[in-house]
Structure 1
Amino acid sequence: MDKRRIVRRLLTGQGVNGFGDGLWFSIWAIYLTQIRHIPAGNMGLAMGIGGLVGLLAAVPIGVAAERRGPREVLCAVIVLRGLAMVAYVFVGGFWSLLVVTTFFSAVQSSGVGVRVTLVYGLMPAEDRVRVLAQGRVVQHIAYAAGAGGAMLVLASGEPAVFVAAVLIDALALFLTAALTMIVPPVAPVPRERRSSGMQALRDLPYVAIMGTTAVLSLCWALLATGLPLWIAQDTRAPLWSAGLAVVVSSVAIAVFQVRVSRRAVGIPEAVRASRISALALAACCAIFAVAAWTASPVLATCVIIAGMGAHVVGELYYVSSRWGLSLGLMAKNAEGQYQGVTASTEAAAVAMGPALVTALVTGLSQAGWMILAALFLLSTAPVAALARRAARDGFRAGAVDHRSAQSVKP
């Protein structure tokens, strides 16, 4: 199949999936508390526990992708996620929510790594990061469209409309699975070349790099949780400026993600991108802290927007560095489990992010922002040394791809 057609089908699937995600993640808190009548405390506890338990599935499902093929496993994961979405229609309390959320989180976090494995198998080395970046652009645009649909659901307030929205998200997932199955398959790893299912977890340099750089994913909790609370409690900026920050972020990602990702294809470039991300996010924290110093709403809003500029740079370079490091340093013929490690480390940081950011920003005020800035800077301090150590191993995908490219040169 022509490469362009493959990319179109991959991007179409991600667009449909992104629309459903934008719809669900914009209404789930209101749906569970006001429509399903689950107390907010119970909801938060169930979602938190379910999210952390669900992380355990990422590596085993990654191994399954190596054994059965990433296309088939990704399709199964998306279908299971759709069934979990249907199950949300029937939750009625803490325990049922915990069971459904654990199942949903397991297939959601696992699907991220399997999708990267599928792109890795379908695309030549020079196109992988670009296609991943294009997918993120499409996903963000579709996510915004889904969030727009969620505004209509929230405005109606009708239980039947909420239930219909949940089922629409499930339908979007089933359609995504169908679109996934029409891309070409990637052959499973032959039995004689399969590695141990625990190889990725025993690869300490790789686990360390993925674990430390995952701290940079706190940028999402910073935007979704920390900034709105900070604006409401400690600054004179209007609350709508938090919504403006999300719009600025989405537009910038759509415009610049592909361009920035071109700068993080190799391992040295990806290490450099992680440093840029850490510096930008640290600067973002410092700028947001300054917003509390002014009594002018206009000036406070301008400071928030300036901080968002730094945040956008940090997020763009974080995502790009993550792709470059994970694709270049994973082992050949063990792509699924390595991407499972990548997905689970990031998902763990994302799961803990809201509580950590809330505690620092609301509990320690400006000092909390400085602690966050220090965390971002420290997270990338060992990456260069760890990457040099890991790159010495000849089994890394980046080394294998480089040798393959050298062998075909005239």
Structure 2
Amino acid sequence: MSTEPPFADPEAEEGESAAAQARAGLRVRLGALFGRDDPVLGVLVASTLVATLGRGLSMSLTVLYLAIVAELTPGEIAIASTIAAIGGICASYAGGWLADRVSARRLMVVLVIVDAFALCAYVFVGDLVLAIVVGLIVFTAGSGAHTAQAAIIARAFAGPTRIHARAVLRTVTNIGIAIGSGGAAVVLVLDTPEAYRTAFVVAGVLSLGSAFVLARLPARVDAGYGRSAEAESLAPVRGRNPWRDPRYLAFAGLSAIFGIQFTVLDYGVPLWIEHETEAPRVMVSVLFILNTVIVTAFTVMLSRGTENPRKAGRVFGIAGVLMGGACAVYGLAAGAPLWVAIVALLIGGVAHAFAEVLSQGAGWGLAFELADPASAGAYQGLVGMGFGVLSAVGPPLLAITVLSLGLVGWIILGAMFLLSALGVLLIGRLAARTWSPA
């Protein structure tokens, strides 16, 4: 006897089957995109997502916690933040240097565990000294772990797969921070000391969870993998010192200058909207959301092919043009009618977001391809150190340009971005003459 329903619709069944196949195909594509079939990328994606959930939660609350719960003054918070940032700058290079000499995966696990306990330690902060100590540990451990991760990526992947891995991790980072920031909103609504302290404990637990995930990384991500201890002792692999590589120093400096674009969005644009335009304050949130959506949606796509130095240089040049244009458009919002200011800010925000996507993808390609593979950690640490230094320089630079000179200041800033990008373009073209695909 047939078990088929008496009124089965063959066309409906075919439609359901096609939909099921489409869903399965989407799952396969997403799984491949986020490293389900790669043991290294899969571990890094999972650990990054868990860690950035906590990072989004703690980042959004740290300053308010220090001000409201720890009762520090704005000046004391600035002192603690500056000292922590200096520690992070030093740890960027130190983490990479160590990753070339000891197990990068074990180093990263240890640093993430230290970061986890330091985040939990915020619940004990009630004065300036503890704020400095805890903040310094958090920034130092986080910066060192980030550089160790870059060294792992440099060794575990090659060519386009390396850029793809970095782009995927950047996308996952944005997603995790966005979700974590949403959790911070709940804490802000509750607005109690207990809610703030609970948030830091949760962030610490998430960071600790990411360390357990990282422990699953295979040994091949470490420097010297495959060489016997005897061979390593007789002829240790020590690559070139990045401080003696003029081309890489020039690239690191120029890309760090361009990295001030992040300070523009975090610091310059909010103050510009508040003091110089007719646009409502909500535009600050709108621009942040717009930036997050564009970076999340286009980073993987637009970073393809940037392992080729010539293409990477060209892409960085395009980013310079977009960033220069974004600065000019931001400047035009001052004194303009409400609707003109809003449109100008939106156009500037879109150009700025795509400049970020393109410059990051191109920067990853050059940072990896121009580096000596035997000193991958030190080279990536130098790049991270440059970004840290310019992050500290960014706010005063914006204060003496855009916030003091208005449109003229924006034009000066835009010219700086354009010139630094053209410098990277030239480095990419020169490097392409001797480059060969991995």
Q: Structures share a fold, TM > 0.5?
A: yes
AA aligned opposite 1:355: P
Offset of residue 21 of structure 1: 1.4
Would the aligned equivalents of 1:110 and 1:344 in 2 still touch at CA under 8 Å? no
Of 118-127 and 251-260, more deviation after overlay is shown by 118-127
CA distance change for structure 1 residues 143 and 173 in 2, over 3 Å: closer, same or farther? same
User: 1:386-405 counterparts in 2 under 5 A?
Assistant: 386-387=427-428, 399=436, 402=437
| Structure 1 equivalent of residue 85 of structure 2 | 51
Alpha-carbon distance change, 165 to 358 in structure 1, aligned in 2, over 3 angstroms: farther
Question: Does the Cα contact within 8 Å between 2:155 and 2:223 map onto a contact in 1?
Answer: no
Please name the residue that 1:205 is paired with.
Answer: 247
**1:222, CA displacement in angstroms?**
0.9
- Partner Cα distance (1:361, 1:382) in 2: 23
CA distance in 2 between counterparts of 1:59 and 1:164 reads: 33
Structure 1 match to 2:104: 70
CA contact (8 A) 2:108 2:148 kept: yes
The whole-number CA distance in structure 2 between the counterparts of 1:155 and 1:354 is 29
8 Å contact from structure 2 (residues 312, 362) kept in 1:
yes
What do the CA deviations read for 1:10-69 (whole angstroms, capped 9, x no partner)?
Answer: 211111111111111111111111111111111112211321233112222212212222
**Do structure 1's residue 370 and structure 2's residue 404 form an aligned pair?**
no
Query: Structure 2: which 5+ residue stretches go unaligned?
Result: 1-34
Q: 1:261 to 1:308 in 2, by over 3 A?
A: same
Give deviations 1:190-248, integer Å, cap 9, x for gaps: 5324226x712222221121111111111111111111111111111111011000111
User: Are the structure 2 counterparts of residues 165 and 285 from structure 1 closer, same or farther at C-alpha, using a change threshold of 3 Å?
Assistant: same
* Corresponding residue number in structure 2 for 1:171: 205
- Note the C-alpha offset of 1:2: 7.9
Contact 1:59–1:341, Cα closer than 8 Å, also in 2: yes
Cα distance in 1 for partners of 2:105, 2:116 equals 17
> What corresponds to 1:110 in structure 2?
144
User: Which range is displaced more, 307-316 or 356-365?
Assistant: 356-365
State the Cα distance separating 1:360 from its structure 2 match. 2.7
The structure-2 alpha-carbon separation of the partners of 1:98 and 1:320, relative to structure 1 and needing over 3 Å to count, comes to same
TM-score by length of structure 2 reads 0.85
Q: Which runs of 4+ in 1 moved over 4 A?
A: 387-393
Contact 1:119 1:132 (C-alpha < 8 Å) held by counterparts: yes
Q: What's the counterpart of residue 298 of structure 1? A: 339
The answer on 1:326 being equivalent to 2:360 is no
CA RMSD in angstroms comes to: 2.0
Helix, strand or coil at the partner of 1:88: helix
Q: 1:9 to 1:339 in 2, by over 3 A?
A: same
Alignment coverage as a number of residue pairs: 395
Is 1:236 paired with 2:278? yes
How far apart are 1:78 and its partner, in Å? 1.1
Q: Report the counterpart of residue 380 of structure 1 in structure 2.
A: 421
Secondary structure of the 2:304 match is helix
Give distance in 2, aligned partners of 1:357 and 1:89: 34
- Distance in 2 (alpha carbons) for counterparts of 1:256 and 1:126: 16
Contact 1:113 1:342 in 2 (8 A): no
2:69–2:126 contact (8 Å) kept in structure 1: no
Name the residue aligned to 1:84. 118
Whether the 8 Å contact between 2:84 and 2:132 is mirrored in structure 1 is yes
Residue 29 of structure 2 is matched in structure 1 by none
CA distance in 1, matches of 2:407, 2:129: 38
Correspondence 1:256 to 2:298:
yes
Is 2:352 aligned against 1:311?
A: yes
Secondary structure, in 3 states, of the residue corresponding to 1:109? helix
Gaps of 5+ in 1: 406-410
Matches within 5 A, 1:102-251: 102-185=136-219, 186-189=221-224, 191=232, 192-195=235-238, 199-251=241-293
Moved more, 329-338 or 343-352: 343-352
The 1:384–1:307 alpha-carbon spacing in structure 2 relative to 1, beyond 3 Å, is closer
Q: Which has the larger radius of gyration?
A: 2
Q: Distance in 2 between matches of 1:258 and 1:113?
A: 21
Distance in 1 of aligned mates of 2:425 and 2:269 = 30
Contact 1:283 1:310 in 2 (8 A): yes
Do the aligned partners of residues 390 and 220 (structure 1) sit closer, same or farther apart at CA in structure 2, a change above 3 Å counting?
same
Task: Verify: 1:342 aligned to 2:383, yes or no.
Answer: yes
Q: CA deviation at 1:166?
A: 0.7
**SS at 1:38's partner residue?**
coil
Matched, 1:283 2:318: no
Cα distance in structure 2, aligned partners of 1:110 and 1:355: 26
Does structure 1 retain, via aligned residues, the 8 Å contact 2:313–2:426? no
TM-score, L = length of structure 1 = 0.91
Residues 331-384 of structure 1 show CA distances to partners (whole Å, capped at 9, x for unaligned) of 021111111111111122123223322443322222221221122122223324
